[in-house]
A and B are shown apart, each in its own frame.
Chain A
Amino acid sequence: MIPDIFKIRKDFPILDQKVNGKPLIYFDNAATSQRPQKVIDRVNEFSLRYNGNIHRATHFFANKCTEAFENGRETIREYLHANETAEIIFTHGATESINLVAHSFGDAFIGPGDEVIVSEMEHHANIVPWQMMCERRGAKLRVLSFDEDGVLEVDQLDQLINGKTKILAIAHISNVLGTVNPISEIIAKAHLKNVPVLIDGAQGAPHLKIDVQALDCDFYAFSGHKMYGPTGIGVLYGKRKWLDSMPPFFGGGEMIDRVTFSKTTYNEIPYKFEAGTPHYVGAIGLAAAVEYLNNINNSLINRYEHDLLTEATHKLKQIEGLRIYGEAPEKAGVISFNIEGIHPFDLGTLLDQMGIAVRTGRLCADPVMDHYGVENMVRASFAFYNTFDEIESFYKALIRLKTMF
């Protein structure tokens, strides 16, 4: 049984258009996804009819927005199966979430000589904040490598995690290789040695059902715009025991309890980490995206996405001179590749002329480029509104474009 993709596509009005005179084929979902009408409507509803700053007043608009915002927080708590709503912090995206942890956890728990582990396949958002923190705190960054297939060398963790390791930060799914990392196993290994784990779920949250209690991760970060929600909003889940013991990241309104010039005390979680006016319309929109996802059959959708990946991989492998980077046994709908003799920029530009949107460049993952010794790659990434017909068109486009070089 396949999901009714025709019906699902109708939920996403942006898909029905021509780009450069050709029907749009949007294969850049790992960069950002599209929004269903329900999310657009919800955001518009609040912008048009109920806009009032949250937590700060008692008037009708303020109450309406505050209620929707906090209900949204509960919707996300439920979606992640987190223990309590206070453990759901709204941020501006996965990047801010990770920076928050690096900074605040760093301040609380990391000192000279300590170590932080990231993997070689991480997006810069899950490398640079840790590098910056290590430099500030005199700590050292260690790297867990991956093999030719794009599989993490998890056994290395037994040596890498030592008495100085303070935290481990790993992607749920690689934005370049598509690898779905065995995070349960990794978390278990880390916890045996009392090391907490942050999971970068920017690619994980759109494609997998997340249960933070089952995973037992200490932090989970993701972005709204990659999972059919608005831009400028994201989430950090953190276990209370960590969030309570971490100092605030940004200072300002809302995150305080009482301010005097001699001393200021801070609010409880989640507000301690939500300084200033949040993107409340964005949070409300993200909750609508989660509600949308709750209403479509997840196992069917997962199966469909997997079949899209299988078909795309099969077709691309028929193209002479095409090399796929990352062929892990557990993989999500991301295919990064190069065609011999054709620069990714050239390919991406010409695919765009044919209405096909892919990503080209270094994919915010310099270490992955270095691992394979390439300057850049082409990346096609799928969502559940893509179709087998689109994959066929993509394959035919690549064959046609090859003749131009």
Chain B
Amino acid sequence: MTIDEIQQQIIEDFSGFEDWMDKYGLLIELGNELTPIDPKYKVETNLIRGCQSRVWLHQDFVNGKIIFEAESDALIVKGLVALLLKIYSNRTPHEILTSEPRFIDEIGLRQHLSPTRSNGLLAMVKQMKLYALAYEKLSSKNN
């Protein structure tokens, strides 16, 4: 499935909810289900520190695709992280660079991507894109 197709699926999953408790309940559930990041990757260099929540992001470049692992200490952020991994992990740098995580706005959670210093999530998305940019440049240099 393409990134956009997965985003559409996420939007549909969340559109059924009338009540905020159900919406956040699902996010918390997704957060709880997220595979914890390998402890050896929970290091300072992988830490994106926001004062509201912390996010750890690890990446590997395998066969032309970036594999992301990520985690947060806040459950709701973990749920959003799980969704972001669904769309961005195991993708080529080009795919990552040419799409935006519009689903967050569409499911009514735009405030969690607000550009404040406190928000680890926005910083994580930026970091994912930076990795994609770096790998894309590296790949074109090697070709």
Contact = CB atoms under 8 A, between A and B. Distances in A.
Nearest to A363: B51
A20 B20 CA distance: 9
Interface string B13-51: 000000011001100100000000000000000000001
B20 A353 contact: yes
B51 A346 contact: no
Interface string A386-405: 00000000000000000011
A405 B76 CA distance: 11
B24 A361 contact: no
Contacts of B84: none
A404 B21 CA distance: 8
A149 B52 CA distance: 25
B104 interface: no
Contact of B77 (A345, A353, A375, A376): A345
Contact of B75 (A20, A343, A360): A343
B118 interface: yes
A361 B119 CA distance: 10
A346 B74 contact: yes
Interface residues of B, number: 16
Bin chain A's interface residue count.
10 to 19
B23 to A, nearest CB: 9
B105 interface: no
B54 interface: yes
A17 interface: no
Most buried by B among A20, A345, A362: A345
Contacts of B24: 349-350, 353, 404
Interface of chain B: mostly helix, strand, loop or mixed: helix
Interface in B74-121: 74-77, 112, 118
Given A346-B28, A349-B24, A404-B28, A361 B74 contact: no
Given A345-B74, A346-B74, A405 B51 contact: no
A361 B28 contact: no
Contacts, number: 41
A22 to B, nearest CB: 10
Contacts of A405: 28, 75
Interface in A323-375: 343-346, 348-350, 353, 360-362, 375
A137 B10 CA distance: 57
A345 B21 contact: no
B73 interface: yes
B53 interface: yes
A360 B28 contact: no
B75 A346 contact: yes
B130 to A, nearest CB: 24
B52 A360 contact: yes
Contacts of B112: 349
Contacts of A376: 51-53
Nearest to B54: A375
A405 B25 CA distance: 9
A343 B24 CA distance: 14
A346 B118 contact: no
Contacts of A348: 52
Contacts of A20: 20
B28 A345 contact: no
Given A404-B25, A404-B28, A405-B75, A345 B20 contact: no
B20 A343 contact: no
Nearest to A354: B20
A20 B111 CA distance: 13
Interface string B103-143: 00000000010000010000000000000000000000000
A20 B24 CA distance: 14
Contacts of A353: 20-21, 24
B73 A375 contact: yes
A351 to B, nearest CB: 11
Nearest to B117: A361
Nearest to A353: B20
Contact of B118 (A343, A349, A350, A361): A361
11 contacts: A343-B73, A345-B74, A346-B75, A346-B76, A349-B76, A350-B24, A353-B20, A375-B54, A404-B21, A404-B24, A405-B28
Given A343-B74, A346-B76, A350-B76, 20 more contacts: A344-B74, A345-B52, A345-B53, A345-B77, A346-B74, A348-B52, A349-B24, A349-B76, A349-B112, A350-B24, A353-B21, A360-B52, A362-B51, A376-B51, A376-B52, A376-B53, A404-B24, A404-B25, A404-B28, A405-B75
